[in-house]
Structure 1
Amino acid sequence: MLKDETLGLLRQAQAPLSGEAMSRALGVSRAAVWKAVTALRSEGYTIDALPGRGYRLSASPDLLSPGELVRPGRRVGGQVVYLDRVDSTNDECRRRAATGAPDGLVVIAGEQTGGKGRRGRSFQSLPGKGLYLSLLLRPDVPLEEVSQLTAWTAVAVCRAVEGLTGLSCSIKWTNDILLEGRKLCGILTELGIEGETGALDYVVAGMGINVSQTAEDFGELAGVAVSLGQCLPAPPRRAQVAGALLEELDRLAGRFPAARADYLAEYRRRCATVGKEVRILRPSGEVRATALAVDDDFSLRVRREDGTEETVTAGEVSVRGLLGYV
């Protein structure tokens, strides 16, 4: 859309842009540029008109406009789809993957009506309060390496949040991001497999980051969930969080799986599960153990109460904490 393209130009400009320069860059008339600027102003963007110099973007509302997020030529973020409301960004990504959507596609929603977590659990997705984002990748790697993408994504989320806010995050094995001991973000990775060959077709990594929720928004989850706004003087704009996250996801996509040692070392450093008592939940029942270490494949090594050790993977079990640990 011309409005998004206009916003993209203004966002990236280092100096005011004249209407003539913008019309040349966009291949449209100056009147069309003026209409796009007017439409952006009506949405809450503050765009100054400086006599003899041009247009300058000076303030932005808390909207998730693709024009603010798209970076042409970038693998992740070169194509961004925004939907006001969707059942699940993961499901939307999978639907688009089935019809040939490209590697690097990003789907963002203002609200999810059917947000989901691991093992069929629901994910709270209040409208306008969080960042609900899914990434489609088509990596040419073995399935056993793709299974590690959740852990890589957890590191990318931590880096994005810390780079933007300065807040220090940790990771609850395997897919939850913690801030001040409470859940800030959940990650769900889903695969698409070719029916005839059994080869990987695509992988979708979905994440939901709490941005501006209050304790009242969380309700009965207030003791275990947290938002960025609760830990900062004011919450960042969702587009700022999305922009920082897309940069880290683009970096991840370019380095996966060659940089495994780098992401593994950081995952281990951030993992808050190691040293904690955990419950290993299997269909056959619950086993109590102590988390010992994250192995080279991002699996979790544990010691049972009888002293025996074993390695568990996210696909096999669900690990939950004891003694009030999330």
Structure 2
Amino acid sequence: MTERKRAMLREEVLALLKARQGAPLSGEAMSQMLGVSRAAVWKAMEALRQEGYVISSAPRRGYALEDSPDRLSPGELMDPNRQVGKALVCLDTVDSTNNEVKRRAVDAVPDGLAVVAAQQTGGRGRRGRTFVSPPGGLYLSALLRPQCPLEQVSALTAWSAVAVCDAIQQVCGVRPGVKWPNDVILEGRKLCGILTELELEGETAALRYVVVGIGVNLSQTEADFGPEVAPVAISLAQALGTAPRRAEVAAALLDALDRLDRDFPGKWDSWLERYRKDCITVGKPVQVLQGSQARTGTAVGVDDSFALVVRWEDGAQEALSSGEVSVRGLLGYV
């Protein structure tokens, strides 16, 4: 067996153990399910133990997973019932998870391809900005192929923010808010950034795919963010006192994106209602930047297309598209 096949077997064995949620599974059952010898299963088990997994074993009962290291791997994240993440790439470092998805999308790739990384060296945000991506964060991108009119695709950015809030609440028990259109906010500072990118057919302008990129701050400190970013950024460790396991957050994000993928755009009204509840920009004074022009007003609502409705100082109202403007808070970051 080659080293690559041994590594794949380790991940498959780990996935089987995690699916049991602490209940034992016999080596014989695993060997039959995976089509390998019991000796190969035993070697995979020993390799997992060397990586830090605590696996108990008992005669006639089998193996049980009792504790796991903070590790990103296919075995940690596999779920056969999930379309998003069915094809999964886990990396220590990458320039950008969005870039990696797009590189792989040059060839035929399945819907739901996901790339997960512990660090980015060239992270990007909206409107060409740099997205600071130090160690201690979690960076995840997924390829989606929504079946909808092109004008509806921009709403995926807002839907993705709701999905992130769902995942954080599932893992941590607290629900962040959303600064329109898609910054995820906790305690008044940015916890997560989202970047959605489209790929269109050159001749027909038909949608080929959408890449949803998510960067969540998990364990960074003020020093990790640096003096420019620290005043407006926060990690889960800073907010909660401890950071959750990266694999747990990654799995929750994949679950949430999978629900989004199944719901979009058919459950539009449900996601719009949830977005409106999560959006903390509404009711606040804002500065709207469009090119070199800056105007101030008050955010008064989110319309049915997820555009932000702003009332200007002269009393007129306007619905703003996230692709056209940048909105900044006048009272702190939000």
Q: Normalising by structure 2, what TM-score?
A: 0.94
Matched, 1:197 2:204: yes
Q: How does 1:124-143 map to 2 (within 5 A)?
A: 124-127=132-135, 129-143=136-150
The answer for the alignment partner of 1:88 in structure 2 is: 96
Secondary structure at 1:147 match in 2 = helix
Alpha-carbon deviations, 1:205-231, whole Å to 9, x = none? Answer: 000011111222222222211111122
Offset at residue 28 of structure 1 (A): 0.7
The answer for the alignment partner of 1:79 in structure 2 is: 87
Q: 2:175 aligns with which of 155, 161, 168?
A: 168
- Structure 2 unpaired stretches of 5+: 1-7
Q: How does 1:214-225 map to 2 (within 5 A)?
A: 214-220=221-227, 221-225=229-233
What is the alpha-carbon distance in structure 1 between the residues aligned to residue 112 and residue 326 of structure 2? Answer: 29
Give the share of equivalent positions with the same residue, in percent. 62
Offset at residue 73 of structure 1 (A): 4.1
Alpha-carbon deviations, 1:175-194, whole Å to 9, x = none? Answer: 10001111110100000000
Matched, 1:117 2:125: yes
The answer for the alignment partner of 1:177 in structure 2 is: 184
What is the alpha-carbon distance in structure 2 between the residues aligned to residue 230 and residue 284 of structure 1? Answer: 36
The answer for the alignment partner of 1:149 in structure 2 is: 156
What is the alpha-carbon distance in structure 2 between the residues aligned to residue 100 and residue 73 of structure 1? Answer: 22
Q: 1:29 aligns with which of 27, 33, 37?
A: 37
Indicate conservation of the 8 Å contact 2:134/2:225, yes or no.
Answer: no
Q: 1:56 aligns with which of 47, 61, 64?
A: 64
Indicate conservation of the 8 Å contact 2:72/2:246, yes or no.
Answer: yes
What is the alpha-carbon distance in structure 2 between the residues aligned to residue 169 and residue 144 of structure 1? Answer: 28
What is the alpha-carbon distance in structure 1 between the residues aligned to residue 241 and residue 234 of structure 2? Answer: 14
Q: 1:271 aligns with which of 269, 279, 287?
A: 279
Secondary structure at 1:111 match in 2 = strand
What is the alpha-carbon distance in structure 2 between the residues aligned to residue 288 and residue 307 of structure 1? Answer: 11
How many equivalent residue pairs? 325
Alpha-carbon deviations, 1:95-139, whole Å to 9, x = none? Answer: 112211111111101211101110111112122x11100010111
Q: Normalising by structure 1, what TM-score?
A: 0.97
What is the alpha-carbon distance in structure 1 between the residues aligned to residue 29 and residue 213 of structure 2? Answer: 38
Indicate conservation of the 8 Å contact 2:158/2:182, yes or no.
Answer: yes
The answer for the alignment partner of 2:3 in structure 1 is: none
- Structure 1 unpaired stretches of 5+: none
Q: Which amino acid aligns with 1:249?
A: L
Secondary structure at 1:25 match in 2 = helix
Offset at residue 67 of structure 1 (A): 0.7
CA distance 1:168–1:74, shift in 2 (3 Å): closer
Indicate conservation of the 8 Å contact 2:166/2:175, yes or no.
Answer: no
RMSD: 1.2
Alpha-carbon deviations, 1:2-25, whole Å to 9, x = none? Answer: 111010001001521121111111
Q: 1:211 aligns with which of 197, 207, 218?
A: 218
Q: Which amino acid aligns with 1:163?
A: Q
What is the alpha-carbon distance in structure 2 between the residues aligned to residue 157 and residue 81 of structure 1? Answer: 20
Alpha-carbon deviations, 1:28-77, whole Å to 9, x = none? Answer: 11111112112211211111122332111110111111111111242112
